[in-house]
Amino acid sequence: METQPTFRFVYKPFSTTWISIIMVVLLFPLGLSLPRSWGWENGPLENIQVLILSIGLVLSWFAAQHNRDNRNVRNLWLWLILFWLLCIGRELSWGRVFYPVALGENGPEFLSIHQVWYGPWVHPFVAIASISMLIGIYCSSPLQYLRQAPLPLFDIAIVIIMAIITTWFEKTTIQFLHPYRVLLEEWAELTVYWSLVSIEIIIGLKNRATPSVTTVLNSKYIQ
């Protein structure tokens, strides 16, 4: 009986991984020292997040072109463009940030999603887009591709750990951290987004899938 190939983890940091590591190291130094307005909704950190997500979106298109010889892999990266779009929409509060109504003690206030003219269609659109994306990704046989691609262990670990930390900061009851929790949460989320872009670069752009989904780990693409 033929056994399935295992995942091929790469136990070394890539150049883009070092940026993620630096961001992790700077979590508390910057989270405790940046102006609190940087963590506001539609503030500098959220705008940087949108920029990084936009980079991820563009790189997904390039990854699709880079792997165009393999239809499944190309389609996988094209479907992931929708993932980045949904993340951008979430960070922009589905467009609510373009409708400020006041500036409060904790930052700008915006219309609720039910008050904007397109509000009733947001949740149905997100649901349809998410389901379509998941079906498209499933039909692209991602596991077959990922078993052949170099998987950067450092970046994957950073994504998981910082995602957990983001949730923890959001709900923390530690008195000392409470005034800084929004900044810490936004910086941790920023680190997650960059690490996802790093993974995308390593798997999708530094590695090329052939029509048979073959990958040579020691090729020039991942040196």
Range of the domain at 150: 8-222
CA–CA separation, 156 vs 73, rounded Å? 20
Residue 4 pLDDT: 56
pLDDT at position 77 over 90? yes
Report residue 1 as tokens.
């009986």
Number of domains in the chain: 1
Could you read off the pLDDT of 4-41 as tens digits, one per residue? 568 888 888 999 999 999 999 999 999 999 998 899 88
Q: How far is CA 136 from CA 77, 126, 130, 144, 209, in A?
A: 10, 15, 10, 15, 18
Report residue 100 as tokens.
């400020």
Is residue 2 situated within a structural domain?
no
Is residue 1 situated within a structural domain?
no
Is residue 35 situated within a structural domain?
yes
DSSP-derived secondary structure letter, 204? I
Could you read off the pLDDT of 87-119 as tens digits, one per residue? 999 999 999 988 888 877 777 888 888 899 998
Is residue 136 situated within a structural domain?
yes
Which range (60-64, 166-170, 171-175, 214-218) has the least confidence?
214-218
Is residue 21 situated within a structural domain?
yes
pLDDT at position 58 over 50? yes
pLDDT, the chain, mean: 87
Compare 133 and 217 and report the one with higher pLDDT: 133
Cite the beta strand spans of 50-127 per DSSP E: 100-104, 107-110
